[in-house]
Structure 1
């Protein structure tokens, strides 16, 4: 969950006035993680049009199913002013006019989302939308978001819709296709259940409200309002299933109902004249330790308990529920949260009289698993095989959505906390008791991206992601094979690379109470990792910076202030920096780190052990990010609530980029021309326009690079990084729609094959621009300052001139050793073998790190 930051706006002048912002057409696409990555609380098939289905996400918007099993995102236009559109609490697809689809959107009902909710209305299957504003909030990412659907269309008169609200706002009705809404005053219950009344944030202490609305299509006739409507309410200990026989004018509690548990789903089987209901003892999606499944015979007003398991086998509630409209009496239900040994799904072909499971015990620890498994579209999900002993959760968890295709009995889909699974041979369950289970979420990218970096060598991108750790992206179009491992936390929160040795990576976890340290380091671009045992177990979160030569980790933690560790020794407090300071390392001088807090800018010249204030950043109160030139020591940019600042003298003085009101995230990337200054990309307010911009001349001129169809949601939550190898390519992480990459329209497509995940760093030289405004910071207090040299380790054979930031020497190098005017050839990654832990190998002569 991400809270919206409301920051003050101010304009400060220093650089020449910014020119009018123009726009440049960009091509945008997702960095493919493989589908899912987050909770899918709802999947709905249209009952009248074959192949038409939609999925909703709690923080990632809504999607439409394509004929090739891929999904098309429908809400990518949502920008900072409409970021809560990505929280979808309910979805309805029209059974009469199948072009119509409706979404109930809004992220939180507490203070984290200051906006009221809305019903989004589409007349073209989600290609375009109009908005019906509501007078109350909607909670697409609140507890109970997997119940439903709370929004329903009358199957006999599709101008009528009902919507069940949260927070005590009750039941609402529209008679003009969702344009306006009126509360149904006669409805008897607004809901009483709250997950945790003591929660002071309001997240778990809000009333869950209405669970679902289900029309009995058989009770009416075309063109007239359907008389019989069932509504489930999140109550425990009181009536929770209500019925109207007069199109919603009056309501009564359905007699004989169970009120011990909360009704999560209410699904009608028209041919059986039966309502099926799944129950759990919590609102979900995380909880649920008991529950039942019941069916209600409408003609006889009789309830029958059809719970698939009992006794010690019942340790979960029930969520996802579906009937096969082609095969009356066939019903499926999912365990809401069977955390061990795996998720569970039950299937009945006799209206719930008997059930068969997707797995069962043979004898501990051996299981009989009645499926084959493929996660080829998202191989990081787990082992792509069926292990008959205890292993990974392959079937899933948080299984609140399960739907059988109304036109194809072999096709079903269900959502989990990480993806969408399904099958195209479902009826084999009944004959062979063996189906093909596969990940089917291609096109759904729902991750909450915490940070991203694009090192100058190695993989194209590295990410840290909420709930699923993070990835080494060696391709933008092929999903990663696995999450970061050893350690594998639920959520990684930040990541950085060492400027002189960019294959050296550090990442930070955010799992309080974990038995693993929350710092890990890699020497091979994130392909493999080791725990940094210098970290204490009780420290989590925050931001991290890796020194240029990868021997020092500076950590501005969420729990224990700013800490520093060198050579993986125990982290110690940095008393000279305030808690919560933003931090960065110089990318060339190993001894230098930068920090900011309030209006103060700090510099350390002793590998982050002590800091001193070198300047102030106007009247800033909330610095957001520090970005350092990848090749020039002391060239530093800082964004704050008072604008964008730039220093070329190690933070001794700063100039302010005029016209830039506020920058939330920014990055430096490859220059537009050889020898030029790196391009700068920013999520910012520039000239009164909030969006995403690029400047190729250090802020004098800007172009806006996002458009009306790519808003990227909440701008305050989105990290940015830029490609140092390819001009124009930028990466934007989002809070709910994964990672986007953009290139100028017409640019060459990204690599389709995997690039090497590691690259050599021995004796490779880089170019460092020589300027009169950059002051070299003394590193005499450091015993491991980086050595520079103008000679390479082998004799070159070329006499040509290298461009800016190009290679100009190194082991085996046969290219140019002379730089263009204004640049100096500087050897990178020189190894000082007289300093621990580096040692010269007596056989090869190579300098190696002995740890």
Structure 2
């Protein structure tokens, strides 16, 4: 339905609607929009040494995952809702070697003021199907510097009621003797770690102490049923010994001399049949810092430390439990020409790399590359030019303890690995495959669902033509982050997007398949929000650092002074001349193609508008979510109705109506009063008179204020939720 534009400049006011009703929750079928896996840093992968095929991965913002028999992964922490969004920051994990049904996760996002919550040990007795929280008296930093260290959490292999956890921030080493239910500090350890990447950092991110870096039990010591006597611990200290051993089950500790005490010990991996401990070290805590480092072998009976480094800068570390003496290490921060991995079958006396120079600039790559599960990652053929392919931030590196051919390693983007690792030692040409299917770890900042073309486009950089298959490519030009998207209401194949770098604006006229158009000027502007007019002729940009900007007919952007910086913006989807904006409690209207705006309405006592959504079929039918609730106008924002019962609203979206003549279905992430309400995700089919809750106890979606929504205008009831990590 279309309606011609008529302006009614009435007195600004807000009308309170009658109380909203909350009806029982509707069972929704939630699925991941498939990207094929990855998208973010995977700092830890752990195999259980007692049950074949049992493995887990942890991520810094996307929770933890369990490996399936078909190489895919199942997310374990999707239940985390707005009250415990920090659960998705997983700083350490431990799988019980005695009772493989038990799993432990150390969760918490930040140790600075960004996260108000203390950390938690999540305890599972069913391999992650359900969890019981055990609160800690300090914070845990799953997305802090040093998150690739570890593992900081370990289960005693002889007495599995005993666990150790190495804390950050100077809180030291902690022990539980009742399967993680309660914890006490091990005060006998001489150091809690004094190293911080940048003590002058006022944000508290790089100035926080890294703390204990890993805990490793020596399973060759002691006997079943009694606490393991020998335990190794790495501590983030520089300038003094920082690797300790206890031979009396943690009662006393002694430093082990012979390691490089000017570096931080990243990993401590036991090779039981060799009676040896392998240690990787670096001059930084990672993942962003660290330029030199090394690998050391500690012979436990003799107490001898040997430097076995293949080259400086190696941090990821694993051993083959089936083949004693087989060791692999990976470079943490090797950025040119590619990452690097080395393998030794003689305990580090000699090494072979996964690539080597033939003659500059040609590389010999000793692998075949397969990205069929996630084609957007890179070319699925062996390349010989200087194109980065192996990855970066390579801290997680493991060999399956039951299968010497099976290996995995985490990167800053995905998990790679394969099932023919032993070819490394013969033909020296393994198959390297993207194996992160199911680990959809992305921070999604914007989503759109146009009325034609692909049903979904995400600001991650993907055109989702088939929601059940990974995108073939990402947007080109590809940017590190896309922050917002919009489509022209009358020409929905015309799209615009904005990135987080200077002057990053791109235009598509074929529904997002290609992005050849760019707009000049505004070279210092970045980030922010973007809106394109109904016919695609005008772009309004509420930039992150240069205020509001406008471009008409692909001209250079010019400054706009009639709306304040930081404005939330939207375009009308029917009338090419109409744009909307909101700042604080004021609502602004432009009827001249964003050349000028006037304040026309009020959003109650709102101080922070979040999102403006426009009915795609009716000019002037506008919804606004704010810190004080959800507001609706049918007259271009001149007057608003406050939807009663909603005390705060974040993302909103309009989708296909329930009936052919009905209003669009409205979806919102909100705090809704009444039985069945609370903080969650809701749908209304009658302009907010009644609501149904659409998420459940298994689908919390993390931090509600970070999550964009868009609803499908072609399929009633379908909504897309982007998360900050899942």
- The residue number in structure 1 matching 2:279 is 277
* Structure 2 residue 505 is the aligned partner of structure 1 residue 505: no
3-state SS in 2 of match to 1:84: helix
Q: Distance in 2 between matches of 1:42 and 1:20?
A: 42
* Structure 2 residue 23 is the aligned partner of structure 1 residue 21: yes
Question: Out of 638, 642, 646, which is 1:652 matched to?
Answer: 638
- The residue number in structure 2 matching 1:481 is 472
Superposition deviation, residue 231 in structure 1: 0.4
| Structure possessing the higher relative contact order (Cα contacts under 8 Å, 6 or more residues apart) | 2
Question: Out of 68, 79, 82, which is 1:80 matched to?
Answer: 82
- The residue number in structure 1 matching 2:178 is 176
Superposition deviation, residue 31 in structure 1: 0.1
Q: Distance in 2 between matches of 1:601 and 1:623?
A: 9
Q: Distance in 2 between matches of 1:538 and 1:292?
A: 42
Q: Distance in 1 between matches of 2:718 and 2:22?
A: 23
* Structure 2 residue 461 is the aligned partner of structure 1 residue 494: no
- The residue number in structure 1 matching 2:51 is 49
Question: Out of 451, 455, 458, which is 2:450 matched to?
Answer: 455
- The residue number in structure 1 matching 2:597 is 611
Q: Distance in 1 between matches of 2:567 and 2:40?
A: 30
Q: Distance in 2 between matches of 1:372 and 1:509?
A: 33
- The residue number in structure 2 matching 1:661 is 647
Q: How does 1:143-222 map to 2 (within 5 A)?
A: 143-222=145-224
Partner deviation per Cα, 1:121-176 (whole Å, 9 max, x = no partner):
00000000000001110000000000000000000000000000001111000000
3-state SS in 1 of match to 2:403: coil
Superposition deviation, residue 13 in structure 1: 7.1
Partner deviation per Cα, 1:760-815 (whole Å, 9 max, x = no partner):
xxxxxxxxxxxxxxxxxxxxxxxxxxxxxxxxxxxxxxxxxxxxxxxxxxxxxxxx
3-state SS in 2 of match to 1:230: strand
Further displaced range: 526-535 or 568-577: 526-535
Superposition deviation, residue 569 in structure 1: 1.3
3-state SS in 1 of match to 2:85: helix
Q: Distance in 2 between matches of 1:680 and 1:615?
A: 22
Q: Which runs of 5+ in 2 are unaligned?
A: 1-13
Q: Moved runs in structure 1, 4+ residues, more than 4 A?
A: none
3-state SS in 1 of match to 2:57: strand
Question: Out of 386, 391, 403, which is 1:396 matched to?
Answer: 391
Contact 2:522-2:558 at 8 Å conserved across structures: no
Contact 2:15-2:640 at 8 Å conserved across structures: no
3-state SS in 2 of match to 1:30: coil
Aligned residues: CA RMSD: 1.0
Q: Distance in 2 between matches of 1:410 and 1:394?
A: 21
- The residue number in structure 1 matching 2:318 is 322
Contact 1:534-1:565 at 8 Å conserved across structures: no
Q: How does 1:664-743 map to 2 (within 5 A)?
A: 664-687=650-673, 689-737=678-726
- The residue number in structure 1 matching 2:8 is none
Q: Distance in 1 between matches of 2:523 and 2:190?
A: 51
Partner deviation per Cα, 1:590-646 (whole Å, 9 max, x = no partner):
111000001100001111121100011111111111000011111111111111111
Superposition deviation, residue 551 in structure 1: 1.1
Further displaced range: 45-54 or 531-540: 531-540
Question: Which structure has the larger Rg?
Answer: 1
Contact 1:13-1:657 at 8 Å conserved across structures: no
TM-score (norm 2): 0.97
Q: How does 1:64-79 map to 2 (within 5 A)?
A: 64-79=66-81
Q: Distance in 2 between matches of 1:256 and 1:307?
A: 14
Q: Distance in 1 between matches of 2:554 and 2:240?
A: 58
Contact 1:265-1:321 at 8 Å conserved across structures: yes
Contact 2:572-2:580 at 8 Å conserved across structures: yes
Superposition deviation, residue 550 in structure 1: 0.7
Superposition deviation, residue 538 in structure 1: 1.8
Contact 1:519-1:535 at 8 Å conserved across structures: no
Contact 1:455-1:502 at 8 Å conserved across structures: yes
Q: Distance in 2 between matches of 1:207 and 1:642?
A: 39
- The residue number in structure 2 matching 1:62 is 64
Superposition deviation, residue 115 in structure 1: 0.5
* Structure 2 residue 516 is the aligned partner of structure 1 residue 527: no
* Structure 2 residue 565 is the aligned partner of structure 1 residue 554: no
Contact 1:693-1:703 at 8 Å conserved across structures: yes
Superposition deviation, residue 68 in structure 1: 0.8
- The residue number in structure 2 matching 1:832 is none
- The residue number in structure 2 matching 1:36 is 38
Q: Distance in 2 between matches of 1:209 and 1:373?
A: 38
Question: Out of 77, 102, 107, which is 2:104 matched to?
Answer: 102
Q: Distance in 2 between matches of 1:84 and 1:114?
A: 9
Q: How does 1:193-272 map to 2 (within 5 A)?
A: 193-272=195-274
Q: Distance in 2 between matches of 1:653 and 1:120?
A: 49
Q: Distance in 2 between matches of 1:537 and 1:218?
A: 62
Q: Distance in 2 between matches of 1:232 and 1:154?
A: 17
Q: How does 1:497-646 map to 2 (within 5 A)?
A: 497-511=487-501, 517-646=503-632
Contact 1:190-1:233 at 8 Å conserved across structures: yes
Q: Distance in 2 between matches of 1:195 and 1:338?
A: 19
Partner deviation per Cα, 1:158-213 (whole Å, 9 max, x = no partner):
00000000011110000000000001111111111111122111111111111100
- The residue number in structure 1 matching 2:7 is none
Q: Distance in 2 between matches of 1:234 and 1:244?
A: 17
Alignment size in residue pairs: 710
3-state SS in 2 of match to 1:294: strand
Partner deviation per Cα, 1:85-136 (whole Å, 9 max, x = no partner):
1000000000000000000000000111111110000000000000000111
